[in-house]
Amino acid sequence: MKKGRFFVIEAIDGAGKTTAIKMVKSKLEQRFRSCVITHEPQEDRPAGIVFYEAIRNPDSRLSMLQKQEFCVRDRLVHIENFIRPQLDKGQIVLCDRYMMSTFAHGIFGASEAELWKLHQEIIDDKLIIPDSTFVLDVTVEEAQRRLATKGKLLDQLEKSREGQERTR
3-state secondary structure 12-41: CCCCCHHHHHHHHHHHHHHHCCCEEEEECC
Structural fold of domain 5-167: Rossmann fold (3.40.50)
Q: How many CB atoms lie within 10 A of CB 80?
A: 12
User: pTM of this prediction?
Assistant: 0.84
- Kindly list the distances between the CA atom of residue 46 and the CA atoms of 33, 34, 42, 71, in Å, as whole numbers in the listed order: 32, 29, 9, 10
CA angle 104, 60, 43 (to 5 degrees): 65
pLDDT in tens, the chain (168 residues): 679 999 999 988 888 898 999 999 999 999 887 899 999 988 888 998 898 888 788 888 988 889 899 999 999 999 999 999 999 999 999 999 999 888 887 777 788 899 999 999 999 999 999 999 999 988 888 887 887 787 665 555 555 666 666 665
